[in-house]
Amino acid sequence: MHIEHVQHHGLPCLRLHADGASALFALHGAHALSWIPVDGRERLFLSERSRFDGAAAIRGGVPVIFPQFGERGVYPRHGFARTMPWRPAGIEAGQAVFELRDSERTAAWPHAFAARLRIALSATRLAITLDVENTGAHAFDFTAALHTYLRVDDLAQAAVQGLQGCDYEDNAGGGVLRREDNYEVAFHGEVDRIYNDVVAPLVLVDGERQLAIEHEGFPDCVVWNPGEQLAARIGDLAPGDWRRFVCVEAAAAMKPETLAPGEIWSGTQTLG
């Protein structure tokens, strides 16, 4: 893997190259902004209205959600990891590594930790691994996700396969629990679901194209698209943007993970 230091909209970034593929990561949030496999087609969605001010969360790509998913706790929505500067830690075992440790800026969450994002890139695959280590003297709980925005040509022709038989929390339908009976999850209006105990590989259907999605270590999968009405109220989405992405997120959201002192938790999402 070859790494070059670049700027994107004024933010310091690392561009990774391997086997004819590339990926772009901002140090702000260790945020994946682009993934282009060897065929040359961009796979991640990034809103043209994203803010790149080094403070706000970026809309699109792969935000890192930690230590709180959504509003499932007393801390700010989706935690602080996506708006913090991460340190590039070089290449280990062929993987690019970013690191975030506890500091004065994370003091509102009173735990000692080390979070690492490890990136493996090949011609046709991108694997992102989040490691969380408890470096303190007391156990802590957390929730986390890789909030992956996948580009599609037309939402009306998109669907997610592989979730049939899984239970899910329907957050667009008042948070009720349901069981997925359909072979394909299609998108008609707002879809906001947390699927539990997802073990089978998933497939994102995008018209005639398909993208395989695998999770390891993450027990849940979030499937989200705001639909037209909610998207109109999201300031950093341009008109019509909701038709151009599907979020399929590897997550530990429904039940917090608990780490004892010295323990390490790890979860991976692999695309391609």
Active site residues: 147, 249
Distance between CA 38 and CA 41 in Å, rounded? 8
Cβ atoms of 117 and 13 within 8 Å: the answer is no
Largest CA distance in the chain: 52
Q: Which residues contact 86 (CB under 8 A, 6 or more apart)?
A: 27, 28, 29, 30, 98, 99, 100, 117
Q: Are 148 and 59 in contact (CB under 8 A)?
A: no
Please report, for residues 14, 29, 225, the alpha-carbon distance to residue 141 in angstroms, rounded to integers and kept in the order given: 31, 21, 28
Both structure tokens of 33: 């902004």
Report cis status (omega within 30 of 0) of the bond before 67. yes
Helices (H), the chain: 227-231
